[in-house]
Each structure stands twice: as structure tokens, then as C-alpha cells.
Chain A
């Protein structure tokens, strides 16, 4: 009977090791270790044995059963692990295929530049003021100290829509509107669209400017210089300085033209700055006392500075756009780059 048991166990071990499915394994489990199993059959046959041998043989059967149970569990784990690995292998994907993304549009570079300019000045305590595009001569010229016969008022320079109604040629109109309506201290920037009767590679008949006006007690030329430096550095980086040169504007005195270090060559001279190392950015100056007087602000008490910069030009420099016309052509291949 011992040999018979050995045989059965060897066969069982072989079958279990060969088994590759959980279902088959369950059947084997029931066949070899269940109630009606072969091993239980041996136990029932104990009675046929010599009573002396019974305990030893019984023990042997039990140990054999335990070993089989252990083996079954091992094999079950092996099968599960194999199935898991198989499943993972079949679920491998091509990681290089494109991910799902929302379509994204784009903001126009002029908008991007305008936002950045607004944010810089707002962080410096300025309010953003906005004005009209269509203005009268008073706000565009008279109040800005521009003589009646000044060439800027010519039809070849300025678009007119009616008698003395025109498309503003500069955002300085907002200076006047603000001083008419608000008492100092005033600290504004005025971004917006301006128009001049010009159309070529570096001029657009509609273009964008930002004006700044600061009126308070004790505002000086030194404050103006510093503000221009601060702005240019914040906009283009710490190494970009600005400088001012004497110039003439009817509504500021002293007046100045603003240059900043060429963003391309940083002063060495290149084709962008036409070899000078400097780029022209706009005009600036201390508000002319006569402008104050016209608006009922006492120039003995208040002083102020103003400056105007070209947003389009800032955008072109910032994003390396070579031709002004690209800004208004609206080619999607251009727009999508921003």
C-alpha cells in the first residue's frame, strides 16, 4: 500500500506542476485532497493494515496531503502571476503616439505686449485709462499746445472725419481727458489705437501707443528718467538701459526722445539698430506749465511728466518680428506662433 501511495503522490505532483489553468487546478485539488479524494481513500483503507502500522501509515498519508496542498497553493500563485504578466504584456502601448490636448488659439502679439505693459505699470501703481479713438482737435492738438498751423494738423498727416473731428494721432489725448476729469495726484497709463496718414514697411495707418502721465507735488525730471529705466528693464531685461535725448514736443518742456539699448546687439551696433546700438522708443518730457494752466491745474503746486511709447514697436522687438505689416496681415501661420 505504501508503494501505491508513493505512485499516486508522484502522479499528483506531476499533474499539478503541469497544470496551467486555475480551473484545472481546482479540479486537481478536489481529486487529490477533497473528501472523496484518492488520499482519503487510503485513510479509509487503514483498517486493512496491521494495527501496529496504522499510526505510521496514517501520518504518512496526512503529511503527503499537506505537501500536496502546499504545492497546489504554490502552483496557484504561479499561474496567477503568469496570467498577470501576460495581461500586462498585452496592454503595452506605443508611448510615442500624441496625447489628447485641447485646441489652443492664440493672442495677438500686440495684445500680449499691451498686457505686459499694463501689468508692469499697474504693479508700479499706475491706473489704466482708456480714451476715444475719434477725438476733436482740442484734445488732440489745442490742449497739447500744438499751434494752429502746425504741420501735424495737415490732412497728409492726420485723418479727419468731420470739421474739427479727427482720428487721434497720439494717445496723449487721454492725458487731457484725465486732467479735465480728475484732480491730482494722477498716475495713469493710456494704451490705445492711434492713426496717422502713413502706410509703409515701418508705418501703419492704425497703430498702438501707450501714454503715461504722472502729476503730483514734487514730480521731477529725475523721476521720469527712473520710470523709463524701470519700465525698459522690466520689459526687456535688466541689462537693457534707457537714455533720453533733447527733443521737441509742443506739450512737454523739457522734452526728450527715449532710446533703449538695442535688444539685439546690446549696444554693439547691428542692422536692427542701424549700427547705433540704440533703439528709438518714443517721446517724453515734463508737462508744459501752459498745458496745466489750460486745464486749471496750478503749475506752481503741481509738476508732472508724460511719455509715449509704441506698443507695436515693443511687440516687434520683444518677439523679433521684422516687418510691421505682419502685425496686421493676420496670417494664421503668424498668429499661431504666439
Chain B
């Protein structure tokens, strides 16, 4: 539904800008779906004065004018015959846009023109294109035409939810906003004009379908003059997207937009036997509507008929046989209400969707019927003249009793946490038209106005209260109930599952440790793992502290199993370790540690088996760290003494040690009675969880162009790490070098001792274009140069 900002102001004076009002409407539950600036074209047009006019020397119909628009004087070539010096005119300067055409500086037959003097047609004010529009001499020079004509307006396209038929008219929206903005609502004053005669002597009405037509009223005006509507009325209708037709029809449309209750006007002369009969249509009955179509009706449709024929399809569309024409003198104003489901079914079946059906099918109130009838009668007499017949015919078979609903302030607070006392509740609801009819302790009873059919229960009133009070004014309340650390529990399971998928078996050891184990691990005197928590009454010396590392337990388990016939093992434990602290309660940290020894895989007949090495445990750690969401890891020589020097790595993330891996020092292994190479790793689970949130994967567009893969082989001193070399390669062109993968390492024959041969696969690709050979070669050359300079490599 369309609502005009200016029209709204007729019922509610507000200083809020159109934009601010949009916001308030949205938060009152009237969703603004679109905003249209009306008079946008006229805003560019300035009122100007023609100072001089001389005929164009090169043309017999053009004239050269100088025009003053209040700021400057410009030369304009004008082709209008009525153009004369001294006239005040609408002037479109250079840059003004008329839909698809824009005013530019032009040359007409050798003379420059800086704008255009406009006709009424060009301004879409009328169809008059005989000449330029001439304004009264006192029209203010420099003012824009939209302001001058009062046509600047904002039109809102609003969505009215199905529970609020009361908002189907601008007055209804104003009522809601008045409650919201706490500004008085200005309702139109309806004063019926002087009457003559009596409607009952002139017109007879018979309601044969009281179940489908809940109320029917008629008033009559005799002797109207059908003409164009006055400008203000036309402007009003245009501002909400309605086309002006004639003064009587326009009034009915105006009142419909005002109250949200559609009306219809019949040409009385066309009503056979001066009768109106409300009845179900006969099956197959023909009806020719205002839209020029003829429809076949069924007995499910409700029609308004005269003695012979249907003259309107109730609530949907009028008939062409009884419409107001220029010859009409006497009219019947129909204001009625029809069962919404009948209107919806008829409109849907016949595919006739009108402003009228849109409203009736939303179940509007019976009570407004008489009001809009009076309002229309008043305006028609005012605008189209004529005499109102005395009285109104009002067929209202079953008026509905007023509904009363109670609300308990205690309940309001309980539900919303917002405390409202009786006065506050009464104020809010009164602004919506609800009258407090009874007040008891913790209970206020309100009578519900008929147009608010949606308010039938206490909870409905509570909803209104908080809507007016503002959803924004409810303080969010937080009860900490996020007891479960889903990330920790989920990550723990993920780690366990990764370990299982890598062939590791989980072990569970007691939490007790043997202080001697710290010596077996060759730990420094200062090592944190020496700060154990002693048990006062232990099971024995071997269980006399709380363990500070999972490694000794794992080594003991490995030893046990190796001594019981196992040759290869992959074991892990995910559990707590403990450290004494200055706090009353010692520190508890969760760790994942593991060991691997022997064959890398279970025997497979097709392949020669390999033994576990450093890169196997490193791979597991890399996988875990990636899955836990860490990135940009740094690898340094391990500080842990139980790894063999040079074959142990610490992995740092944001400068914290998050993992380590390496070969267990043979002497350490021996202390645990293990004689074969054994590799271990540790993941500092709690440290990683504390180091920040895991980033969700972010999709990167899949390149449309396949990348180029080039291999690069060179001999380089062992002093240079693969990490450094990879970095050097990438840094040559980080944008285009997508991946650098180590392909091969070779030492031995033909390679100087202390050096090694490395082969890298380099993936080069652009997301937008195919790279030429020439271009990729250039990149490779750059890479080689850089490698030679930085790492003294020797290309092979």
C-alpha cells in the first residue's frame, strides 16, 4: 500500500523527516518496502524571469531570450510562440534530467542555449503543449517548482501485515504513529451538509445474503455536477499512485485511502426500479465490469444488483452499467462490508485484484461503514455540488458487541521484564483507541475499538505495549547458560579421531607420576615439568607425584608392549598434566602426546614397508595443528631434552609453543628399556584453544584458467632450510606463485658433501588470464636469480 508523507501530515503533525519516519514505521511493525521521491523532476526546475527576447536571426520561429533564475542570467533559445520578455516561467537549467533525456548546452542555428523554458506538458502538469507555461508575475524567482506547486512529497510503499486491516488507510497508519510518537491524532471533522427529501422514499435496499454482507449503507446525493476534481484532490490521489477519474469517483477513492474502507458510487438513474438487492449471483450469470471485461459468476459470488441485473461484484469491482459518467446527476453512495473470504475467493477465482478487494479480503470493520459514507457524502456535496437526501439506509443485521480484554501489569513485566504501571499501560493503549473500562488490583480491562479485530487476548495487548514502548528499550538479559565448552569437547574428539585415522591407539594411564622419570627424560633442573604436585599419601614412590608429562607413561606403555611381542606401535594419550603453582589449586593442562616406532604401516603385500621417521610424526602434528585452525607456524630446534639433538622440533604459533615432535633420544628410550628408534610428539591442546578463535574457511573463487606447473632443480648447501628456500621462491611473486611443493631431496653421488639437490614443483597461475610461456619463463628466471643470490644455489 502507498502512503504519502504529506497526506500523513494531515492527521499527524510531525517534524520527523521522511527518512526518520521510515525508521519509526519500520519499528512500529509497518515495514517500508520502498520510498519514492515525488516531484523529483519538478525539483530541478527553477522559477526564472525572461529579461529580454529578440527573434533568432536564423529562424522564423525561434527566439533568443536571456533568462534570470535568481542566481545568474543565461541565454536560452526558445521555440514557443507565446514567449515574451517579462514573463515568469519554469526554467530547466543544464543538467536537469527528464527521464531519458538531459538538458545540455546546445547550439541552435549558430546561437548557444543554456537550458530550456518548459511547457506544462514537459513538466507533466497537464497535456498542454501549446506554449511555455507562464507563471503569475509574483512567483518567487529561483524557487524550485516542486516547492512552488507544493508537490514535493515522499511516497512510501508499505507492507501491511494481515493482522492489521486497520492500517489499510492513511488515517489508521497515522493513528498508530500518533501512539508511537505521542502526538495527537487529527481526525477529519465530518459535518453532513444540509439535506432535503428522504432517501427512503427514493431508494429501496434488500439484503438477501446477510451472512455475506454484514453491513450495507447507502446515502444519496441528487443534482451533482460530474467534472474533473479540484487540483488538491488530484494531487492527493496521484501522491499515492491513484489515477484521478472524476470528482465523485475521486472522492470515493480519497475516502478509501483515508479510512482504508472502500466505497462505491452508483449512477442512480441506471438502477432498475430504484432498488438495490444484495444477493448471491446466479450460476453462470453474466456481469460486465468497469474494466471492460464480462465475467461469468457463480452462486459463490456476492453481487449488488438492481431489480434486473448485477451492478457491482460486491467488494471487488463496479459494473459498467451503473458507473458514474458525465451525464450522471443523482448518485448512490455505497459503503458496506462483505465477508472477507467471499471477496477473497471471488477476486482470486476471477483474477480481479483491486484496491477494494485488497482491503475487503483483509476483514475490515463493519463499524467504519457509516463513517466513510458520511465522509464521502460531505466531500461529494462540497466538490460536486448537489443535495444530500435526508437519512441513511443502514442494513446491519447483526452488530457485534464490543470486545473487552484485560491485562495484568504483573504479567507484562513477567513476559517482557519491562515494568509498566497502570497509568503507563492506559496511556499507551488509549493512544491506540482502547478505552480502559475497569480497573482492579493488577488488572486493567479495555474495550477494544472495532477496527482492532486483532486484539482479543491479554497477550495481544502486551504485544501492543512493547511495540509502542519499543523493542529497543528492552535490556537484553543474559543468564550464563553456556556451560558447555563445545569447542573444547568437539576439538578433543576431533584430535582423537585424527589420531585413530593415522593408525594410533589411545591409551589411558593413571595421573600419577614417578619423580625419577624427570631424570630419565633428562629434564633441566629449571624445567617446568620438574614443578610437580606431590601426593601426600601415595600408593608408592613410583606414584608419588601428579604427572607433569604424558611422555613417561607412553614410554612405559610402549616398553610393556614391545616386551610383550609387539614390534611396531603407534600410541597416544589425551589427558591432563599438573603443575604446582602459586595459587591454592595447582595448574591443570590438557595435552595430547604420542609415540610411534617400528613399521610405518601394517604390511601390505604390494609394497615394501618403511619404518617410522621424523616426518611421520611431524605430519601428524601438522595435520592436527591445521585442523585446530592454527596457521603461520614457526619451526625451531626443540628445547625438549628428551628429543635427540637436531631431530626434534618445537612448533610455535603466535610465539607460543603449541607442539613438538622428534626422535626420542636413544638414551632416554634406553632408560625406559626401549632399544629401537622411537619417535614422539606433543600437542599443547589447552594452549591452542586459548590462543584464539578458529577461523572458518573462506571460499576463494576457483580460478578459471588452469595454472602452469614448473619444476626447478638445484644443488644447495645443507645450511639453507627448505622453509627459507620456499619463502624465497614465493616472495618472487606472491600473487602468481600459488604453491611451492618440495618434490625431491637427493644427496650422494655427484653431490658435494654438505650439499643436497632439491627439486621443487612451482605452481604459477593467474586468476584472470592465461600466462604465456614467455611470462612464466620470466618468473622462473627471477626465481633462479633470487635463489642464486640468497642461497648460492647451483642450477641443475
Contact = CB atoms under 8 A, between A and B. Distances in A.
A230 B507 CA distance: 30
Given A106-B505, A193-B511, A97 B605 contact: yes
A328 B509 contact: yes
B604 A105 contact: no
Interface in B519-558: 533-539, 543, 546, 557
Given A108-B508, A182-B481, A330-B557, 12 more contacts: A100-B606, A104-B503, A105-B502, A105-B505, A133-B511, A134-B578, A159-B538, A161-B546, A182-B480, A182-B483, A330-B571, A335-B505
Contacts of A199: 539
A127 B484 contact: yes
B485 A332 contact: no
B512 A107 contact: no
Nearest to B557: A330
B585 A197 contact: no
Contact of B510 (A104, A156, A183, A328): A328
A134 B536 CA distance: 13
22 contacts: A98-B605, A105-B503, A105-B572, A111-B506, A111-B508, A129-B483, A134-B586, A136-B584, A155-B536, A159-B535, A159-B536, A160-B536, A165-B584, A193-B576, A195-B511, A206-B512, A328-B510, A329-B560, A330-B560, A332-B569, A333-B564, A335-B505
B496 interface: yes
B101 interface: no
Interface string B554-579: 00010011001010011110001010
Contact of A332 (B502, B539, B566): B566
A171 interface: no
Interface string A179-210: 00111011010000101010100001110000
Contacts of A329: 560
B508 to A, nearest CB: 5
Contacts of A195: 511
Interface in B434-484: 479-484
B505 A336 contact: yes
Interface in A93-121: 97-98, 100, 102-108, 110-111, 115, 118
A110 to B, nearest CB: 6
Contacts of A287: none
A165 B538 contact: no
Nearest to B603: A98
Contacts of A188: 483-484
B696 interface: no
Contact-size category for A: 35 or more
Contact of A330 (B479, B493, B507, B511): B507
Most buried by B among A159, A185, A188: A159
B149 interface: no
Nearest to A195: B511
Give chain B's interface secondary structure class: loop
Nearest to B498: A105
A182 B480 CA distance: 6
A53 interface: no
Contacts of A159: 535-538
B88 interface: no
B493 A115 contact: yes
Interface in A294-338: 327-333, 335-336
A253 interface: no
A252 interface: no
A182 B482 CA distance: 9
Nearest to B511: A206
A28 interface: no
Contacts of A197: 537, 539
A240 interface: no
The residue in B536, B576, B584, B586 that gathers the most chain A C-beta atoms within 10 A of its C-beta is B536
B601 interface: yes
B729 interface: no
A133 B585 CA distance: 10
10 pairs of A and B residues whose beta carbons are closest in the complex: A103-B503, A127-B484, A330-B507, A105-B504, A108-B506, A105-B500, A127-B483, A335-B505, A206-B510, A160-B536
Given A110-B508, A133-B578, A205-B512, A161 B535 contact: yes
Contacts of B496: 107, 111
A122 B505 CA distance: 26
Given A134-B586, A165-B584, A331-B561, A103 B601 contact: yes
Size band of the interface chain B makes with A: 35 or more
B505 A161 contact: no
A47 interface: no
Contact of B508 (A102, A118, A128, A328): A328
B506 A167 contact: no
A230 B277 CA distance: 68
B501 interface: yes
Contacts of B546: 133-134, 161, 167
B585 A331 contact: no
Contacts of A110: 508
A100 B604 contact: yes
Contact of A178 (B483, B535, B539): B483
Contacts of B501: 102, 104-105
Contact of B604 (A98, A135, A178): A98
Contacts of B535: 159-161, 167
Contacts of B604: 98, 100
A142 interface: no
Contacts of B578: 133-134
B489 interface: yes
A105 B499 contact: yes
A218 interface: no
Contacts of A130: 485, 488-489
Contacts of B601: 103
A68 to B, nearest CB: 50
A136 B539 contact: no
B611 interface: no
B588 interface: yes
A107 B539 contact: no
B586 A155 contact: no
Interface in B136-184: none
Residue of B500, B505, B604, B606 with highest tally of chain A CB at under 10 A: B505
A118 B512 CA distance: 26
B602 interface: yes
B252 to A, nearest CB: 59
B776 to A, nearest CB: 37
A193 B546 CA distance: 13
A182 B481 CA distance: 7
A51 interface: no
B536 A162 contact: yes
Contacts of B543: 205
A136 B585 contact: yes
A304 to B, nearest CB: 15
A245 B590 CA distance: 38
A174 B243 CA distance: 73
A132 interface: yes
A33 B80 CA distance: 95
Nearest to A130: B485
B211 to A, nearest CB: 48
Interface in B290-347: none
Given A102-B501, A104-B501, A134 B533 contact: yes
Contacts of B564: 331, 333
A130 B506 CA distance: 21
Contacts of B502: 103, 105
A335 B561 CA distance: 11
B597 to A, nearest CB: 12
Nearest to B506: A108
B506 A132 contact: no
A199 B504 CA distance: 28
A100 B602 CA distance: 10
A327 B508 CA distance: 7
Contact of A107 (B500, B510, B566, B586): B500
Interface in A64-113: 97-98, 100, 102-108, 110-111
